Structure 1
């Protein structure tokens, strides 16, 4: 498959413009949290762990939205699901844990941001919004529309990416003032997310036919490819491209079923690690004689 997809060229495979954007983000982080952090007052440099988290998040973001995985996501549903799993279930955690607390505090206290942040990071709202919209996105009509429109695809991706941060915030927030969910509720919160996403995955796994025109209809597939393949390259290949099956050993239905299975299991594995992190942190505090349960309601903000 690797040799076959090289016909789309370097720009489609490696997204040099997006790579430049990622490098710029890394430089901005380095400058703001390093040499120029004095503009924020007497603040400390990010710890080694924070820097590792942030830069790893940038690398993962590039790998799923700039490297060949992005091209493959327009060819195979299974690749799309790998992309979604990392983009929405891993990258936000690394960015949240990678930003210095003083930077986060200054950002979320901005007059315009504060009320919106309070609303969209409320656990029930964050859980319902992200998981319901993520599931709705994978309804065939919405999915095919997104794949056929650059504006819709970009807009939906950005909205889900922002909402994924909101969804993870109550669980991995580094700010004590927002860390008000007790460990049992955090674990229940994640189990609820697993259940909602698993229902959407089950629809793909047990469907008796391929649901998405973006992977089965040649016209819709070419339109989806145009999201990451330069138009001049697509025009030059127009006589040789017959459909996604050129690059996949699986039928469209088998690939769709594999995609649902991949999403279900990757989400469960990622969430399982986070649940274990919450549980063992809670267990350690109990052994040290520290009450991990707050006196207030599960979410008092």
Structure 2
């Protein structure tokens, strides 16, 4: 299916990356469990937070280490699905799964305190969307895909800037909330607008933009970072990316741009509806406008009593 049968288990599932993700997940459960009592403001972490964290880690693993990652080196549409899973799905789920007392301990570290200005809404939105758009300029994209170290660094930076961008919307700490309900609505629209030019460039281009998905030799070099053995063997066995394509490179590129924009619009539209609903209720004196749940409210009241 989709040509995956031609690759080994290790190439499909990246056991080393899987081990790292499992260790990080285990560390999370140790932090919220046996050693949580070391923190004066710790409270039992509700089940829903644990589920969100695990789902976020699973989404990140599938996007960066599982079959979606491998397919993203063969088809541009899967590359964009991988990007959406990594930065629009995994990041907010992981952040929502982290309890308040862990966030406070992380933010006490000096480097994070000194760089707190990066979490300002406009700065964070410009950084993430700017880096994302820059990455999809054809010459930059192909360069990053062909240089493994640059590729990893760029993806890590994108992950961090995505977390800064999401911080405005899902910040669980009442003492660090900077945006009102109306401000969050404006912030959501800003992010929806900033990503549009990059997606538009990809969708309406009249020819394939990326050598990684259209030139056999460039494709084989890029594939060398996610498969074992000599990449030149790929050319001998398959001839190039066309062997795995379900559609032409141009259509595949257009589908990728549409998929990224659709996923972003769906996620942010859902967030917009949620924020607007609670902002409207606050304006009518019914409740606060924060992205909170009964569980987070319980945590805040516990801190107040302490």
Superposition TM-score, scaled by structure 2 size:
0.90
Corresponding position: 1:257 with 2:279: no
Q: 2:39 & 2:241 partners in 1: Cα distance?
A: 51
Q: Structure 2, unaligned stretches of length 5 or more? A: 291-306
Corresponding position: 1:76 with 2:75: yes
Equivalent in 223, 229, 232 of residue 231 of structure 1: 229
Residue pair 1:170, 1:178 contacting (<8 A) in 2 also: no
Where do 1:157-172 residues align within 5 Å?
157-172=155-170
Equivalent in 123, 142, 149 of residue 144 of structure 1: 142
Residue pair 2:11, 2:227 contacting (<8 A) in 1 also: yes
The residue aligned with 1:133 is 131
The residue aligned with 2:32 is 33
Corresponding position: 1:240 with 2:237: yes
Q: 2:211 & 2:223 partners in 1: Cα distance?
A: 13
The residue aligned with 1:57 is 56
Shift of 1:41: 3.9
Corresponding position: 1:280 with 2:277: yes
Q: Which has the higher contact order (CA 8 A, sep 6+)?
A: 1
The residue aligned with 2:300 is none
Shift of 1:290: 4.4
Aligned residues: 290
Shift of 1:113: 1.8
Q: Which moved more, 1:4-13 or 1:163-172?
A: 4-13
Cα shift readout 1:109-151 (whole Å, capped 9, x = no counterpart): 11222111x1210111101111111101000011000110100
The residue aligned with 2:184 is 186
Runs of 4+ in 1 over 4 A off after TM superposition: 235-238, 290-293
Residue pair 1:5, 1:247 contacting (<8 A) in 2 also: no
Aligned-residue CA RMSD (Å): 1.6
Q: 1:95 & 1:12 partners in 2: Cα distance?
A: 25
Shift of 1:180: 2.4
The residue aligned with 1:299 is none
Going from structure 1 to structure 2, the CA distance change for 1:291 and 1:153 (only over 3 Å counts) comes to closer
Shift of 1:97: 1.0
Superposition TM-score, scaled by structure 1 size:
0.92
